Chains A and B, each alone.
Chain A
């Protein structure tokens, strides 16, 4: 009714913000390039070095950062609605722990570097399944609180496994694993982006499709059942789609924390009550923020790089505190 034109403005603003962030991400870097050179290089014209920088270094980073940010924010928004918990975030539910275990085991086991993302994704899937199994064992109906507890337990177990693996691994594997866990889009390649985008688009579309169900789930189990929703199935469906989407981001870029937790809150007040709008808006906002976070990560301590996960956490905390103030 009234909300429609307001929402249109919101999407426009977010899309413009994302575009500006992308331009900043493409235009800034150790090698100084004029906007004309940037434009030409993206099109494949101009000096070979400039073309390589734009097409193989900066552009993949910016695109992967955007995809990862959007995926994490959308996953977080969906999970917060499904679990009726404003503090739910994809990493809390065993995904990050499982992915980290998968990656660390792959690295410590000496797997070639290309297998690490697969190990991470496999680990995350295993963790999600484990969480569901634990929650189901606790009772016929996996109450969101039980899911949350199971997620925390699986996460703690994963941490223990990681510590054991790292303690017994040779020093350089440890360094590899730690670097990977701190999150980065530095090694972004178009091949990686292609598979992540394919997977991400499917998952995100599924989340948007099932968003009305999440609206109803967010009211409570009894209310949702009364409105004709199979609470167990719908809850599990949303949980699995959102968690696996987050798992894919971990496989692609390591642990980039806080985005899934904070971004949904930032857009919720403006995007309105419908989760379809909240998830979509969160996607745009998440992409923007992670592009900017990556920009900060690679310029603040040049020529070195800060881990992306550290920047999002550092930036996320003040945002979150600001939001808390509004809660009073």
Chain B
């Protein structure tokens, strides 16, 4: 599982820290969602986890190990990341693309490790991308491409899966099927950390929600605890109403028109 302990990140020449003392846990078997307005520090947290920005203070650990002590390959074997956007410069065969997920496990001179073929096949099946495994990445639709990227992350065989805005560019059906896949993966024991704008989807699928506001945790807990009208309005600075949607029972957010708060 992934654990953030009093993490502080400050970009050079910035007036205030981007992440200011954030602590939470993303346990195995659950979907943990990080939500918050733009600029609240969500992406910075992901970057900090990957070692792309350095910590001012605090510790990020994966399965009990401080990530700063892990070399990149070791980290990649424990945490798989699906970033916001990805566009390969050259068209790849989908199966080859997914196989690149084995890189952290492979030796220098071979592209795929011995256990790789099975891992890749399993990833393809889990993400349900077998029908287009032989096509090239250029020929995929937005939804198919997203699943293929998830498949590559799965091929990494990491216990933790981090996704940064995985449902951008996806229509309703694909959004739902992506989250359903995440749900299935969580049930199988993976620790899933999702950064998302889709508050309603998060409300339905996440087991834990961490709400960030200007770099700090404004609220954390089960969706029904965090997704409350007053908290969200304060953080997002927009009038909204939270109801309990009758069909599913999860909290549902309704933004209202016009600004009442300045």
Contact = CB atoms under 8 A, between A and B. Distances in A.
Are A and B in direct contact (Cβ within 8 Å)? yes
Interface of A: 1-3, 80-81, 84-86, 209-212, 215-216, 218-220, 222-223, 225-230, 268, 272-274, 276
Contacts of A218: 88-90
Interface centre among B50, B100, B106, B110 (most CB of A within 10 A): B100
Nearest to A215: B100
Given A212-B108, A220-B83, A228-B104, 4 more contacts: A209-B109, A212-B111, A225-B51, A227-B100
Nearest to B107: A212
B76 A81 contact: no
B89 A81 contact: yes
B95 A226 contact: no
A276 B108 CA distance: 12
Interface residues of B, number: 35
Interface of B: 50-52, 71-77, 80-81, 83, 86-93, 95-97, 100-101, 103-104, 106, 108-111, 134, 156
Contacts of A268: 90
Given A209-B108, A212-B106, A219 B86 contact: yes
A227 B95 contact: no
Nearest to A276: B111
Contacts of B93: 3, 272-273
B83 A226 contact: yes
B88 A226 contact: no
Q: In the A-B complex, list the 3 residue pairs whose CB atoms are closest, starting with the nearest.
A: A228-B76, A84-B89, A228-B73
Interface centre among B72, B90, B97, B106 (most CB of A within 10 A): B90
12 contacts: A80-B89, A84-B89, A212-B106, A218-B89, A222-B81, A225-B50, A225-B51, A225-B72, A228-B71, A268-B90, A272-B96, A274-B96
B111 A227 contact: no
Interface centre among A86, A216, A226 (most CB of B within 10 A): A226
Contact of B86 (A85, A220, A273): A220
A1 B118 CA distance: 12
A189 to B, nearest CB: 35
Nearest to B156: A227
A304 B51 CA distance: 61
B134 A222 contact: no
